[in-house]
Amino acid sequence: MLVHFPIALITIGFFADVLSLFFNKKEPCLSKVGFYLMIVGTLGAVAAFLSGEYFTHEYNGVLGELKENHELFCKIAMYVMIAASLIRIYLVWKKKTYGGLKWLVFGLYFVATVSVGYGGLLGGTMVYNYMIGLQDTSNENAMDSTKAESKTVINLKAALQGETTASAKYAAFAQKATEENQPQIAVLFNAASKSESIHAANHHKVLEEMGYKVDVKPEAFNVTTTKENLAASYNGEKHEVEQMYPEFLKQAQADNADNAVKSINYALGTEEKHMDLFKSAIDALAANKTSTLPTQYFICPKCGFTYSKDDVEESCEQCGTTKDKFFVIK
């Protein structure tokens, strides 16, 4: 109501003023209609602008540019309407019906009408081109339906869901490896689970910074034999490394979402390492040499990068976090 009433009031008031220039002698009410709609429309424009200024979020990329232009034209309309209303009130107070100031008011009214109309067009573009359908507010995962989701936000939500599920899945795989008397593989799965939980936390933080509060739960997954679990894990990491995260990274860069780029890069680099670790475990299991696998892993708390005791460094190669802060899984 705050947004749409000023658009209607200003537009109808302007046309009433236009008609009053030609028919005011026969229909003097037209000028009064234009005057009162101008005043109410101006007050509404101020309220609408302030609501947008204080209660909307910042966006990146194309959506961010649309929002900036939308704000600009709405601001122009508001200030022009304030100026026109003050002059019009002065004319009414002085009982001046015609003259240069009357035409100035008409010109200002025209500028405001065009500005508010174009601002409304930009606002509609933001809503209908970028807003994902209204969500069921009874769903605990539903987002605020007044927000618009960029492709990067959609991708981060998918990544958050995937990393959350992977963390739970790898923990279950670790339990299965323990049951099958494969302690080295169990510790690998536990390390990977911890790493994925860090990626999920990073994605979640970026989404919150972008104005989205998302609460996800692991999706359903199957736990089979350790051999099959390793193969499934390797294939899942391969998909993320070769397809999912490169596409997400490209989109985040296009949207100028710097924090999303960083979070995605952290996950992408780590998943490449997970692929290598799972491949080594697959080969060792096939050769019945799992006893040669590492029994200790180090996880960077900032980016989730995973090191074995054989290749751990003094600081993380991805983010520079020092070794003394690493999580130790053994």
In whole angstroms, what is the distance from residue 196 CA to residue 267 CA?
Answer: 8
Using DSSP's 3-state secondary structure scheme, residue 147 falls into coil
- Are the C-beta atoms of 270 and 303 separated by less than 8 Å? yes
CA distance 166 to 101: 69
Name residues whose C-beta falls within 8 Å of residue 231's C-beta, 6 or more positions apart in sequence: 282
- Model confidence over 156-192: pLDDT tens digits? 999 999 999 999 999 999 999 999 999 999 999 999 9
- pLDDT digit string (tens) for 277-295? 999 999 999 999 999 999 9
**Tens digit of each residue's pLDDT (9 = 90 or more) over 1-58:** 667 777 788 778 777 777 776 775 555 676 677 778 878 878 887 888 788 777 666 6
pLDDT for the residue numbered 224 = 96
Distance CA 148, CA 70 (A): 14
Q: What are 299's strand-pairing partners?
A: 306, 327
* Contact (Cβ atoms closer than 8 angstroms) between residue 116 and residue 73: yes
What is the mean pLDDT of the segment spanning 216-235? 95
Q: What is the DSSP string of 199-250?
A: HHHHHHHHHHHTT------PPP-----HHHHHHHHHHHHHHIIIIIHHHHHH
Span 59-86, mean pLDDT? Answer: 79
Is residue 131 within 8 Å of residue 35, measured between CB atoms? Answer: no
